[in-house]
Structure 1
Amino acid sequence: MNTLRAWLAPVRPTTPVADPRERRAIVVELVIVFTVTLGLAGLRSLLSLLDSLLRPEPLSEQRVAINVPQAELGLLDLLRQLLGAAQLFAWGALGVYLLWRTGIRLREIGLDRERRGKDVLAGAGLAALIGVPGLGFYFLARAVGANLTVLPSTLDDSWWRPIVLTIAAAANAWAEEVLVVGYVLTRLRQLGFGENASLVLAAVVRGSYHLYQGFGGFLGNVVMGLVYGRYWQRTNRLWPLVVAHTLIDVVAFVGYALLRDHLGWLP
């Protein structure tokens, strides 16, 4: 019973920042970081969903692609894909740097390398826990008209496609898990938010920048955020989340690219 209570209603492990100036600085920092990164992406995603809802065809008959060509020439496309991934890695690095600058060590958010084997195994387990039901939920949401048809990749067949898609998967995982788990949950603790309140807020932020996929994409990612965020709050390990997210996206991106021409039921 105590274990269940600890998972459902954990106690905030840190003392909130008391200095009003420091608290204001944290709020300003959060606004700036998420305006530059995933917060602005969430607003664009909301506008994309509204545009889809205003079209005459139902959501399930509309398509949206995640990894798309960026240039006509293959070499330029490759370079632009890599630049996009570099931006995502930089977003995550920004969150880590800002925490480090205020005296928070990598070990305190679970980004040290002392438990690499256990972190990889835990990540594989979390990937299965979210990935398999998540795929079923996507098909259900699409069947009831609550989700667009998502194309994980429309990149042309080339020698670098699986490499770029794998890098893109790792970049997405790094940016999202660092910012919406390690960074934002740490900052909300410093502001005095309870563990459950901060968990829900972070999960909604995660869902917001997936709204372009439809209501199913939003809800599915909110659930993912609740599970992953609570795992971090209880274990203080961030690497398993990065590993899990990477594995899910690699399967989605690379698997779809390799199988779409061989399985007729794939869009």
Structure 2
Amino acid sequence: MKLAEVGLPRRPQAADLRWSIGLAALIGIPGLLFYLAMWQFGLNLGVQPSTLDQTWWRPITLTLSAFGNGFAEEVLVVGYLITRLRQLGMGENTSLIISAVLRGSYHLYQGFGGFLGNVAMGLIFGRVWQRTNRLWPLVAAHTLLDVVAFVGYALLRDHVSWLP
């Protein structure tokens, strides 16, 4: 299977960037509020996205890590898994739900809220991919979400009281 077949051509299109920013905002803003609420109710653990010390290379490392997470997760859990489930004869909705629940299940280390939030993200990202067959927007949106979480947490953790 070639990457272009699952929506990852060599060159992203300009529209992919707009989709990325929109998806990152759609998931990130309510996602942060949901995470904090679930943490307050004891349904999420206090996740530390970064424990790196103050170094000049910390933002670079965190950004590369964010891209690696976004690329691997979207290619495998959306592009590859949903494609294979289709090939096995599963319908769009069934394959979407399986993919989203898988995504949520390997985020259970965050707590039940992390599971639910990632299932919601999986449903939205998976449906966007099913409709557009474009993975770049998902990879870039996921990267943006993780950069904000990783780098933002590292910059803010000692300066704001509401972060776990």
TM-score, normalization: structure 1? 0.60
Which structure: larger Rg? Answer: 1
Note the residue ranges of structure 1 that are not aligned, 5 or more in a row: 1-98, 101-105
**Aligned residues, how many?**
164
104, 115, 128: which one aligns with 1:231: 128
Offset of residue 112 of structure 1:
1.1
The residue aligned with 1:215 is: 112
The residue aligned with 1:205 is: 102
Q: Does structure 1 retain, via aligned residues, the 8 Å contact 2:12–2:136?
A: no
Q: How does 1:1-267 map to 2 (within 5 A)?
A: 99-100=1-2, 106-113=3-10, 115-267=12-164
Offset of residue 116 of structure 1:
2.3
Q: RMSD across aligned C-alpha pairs, in angstroms? A: 1.1
Offset of residue 145 of structure 1:
1.2
Offset of residue 258 of structure 1:
1.0
Aligned identity (percent) is 69
TM-score, normalization: structure 2? 0.96
**SS of the residue 2:47 aligns to:** strand
The answer to which structure, 1 or 2, has the higher relative contact order (CA under 8 A, 6+ apart) is 2
Runs of 4+ residues over 2 Å off in structure 1: 113-116, 264-267
- Cα deviations by residue, 1:120-160 (Å, 9 ceiling, x for unpaired): 11111100000001001101111111111111111111111
Note the residue ranges of structure 2 that are not aligned, 5 or more in a row: none
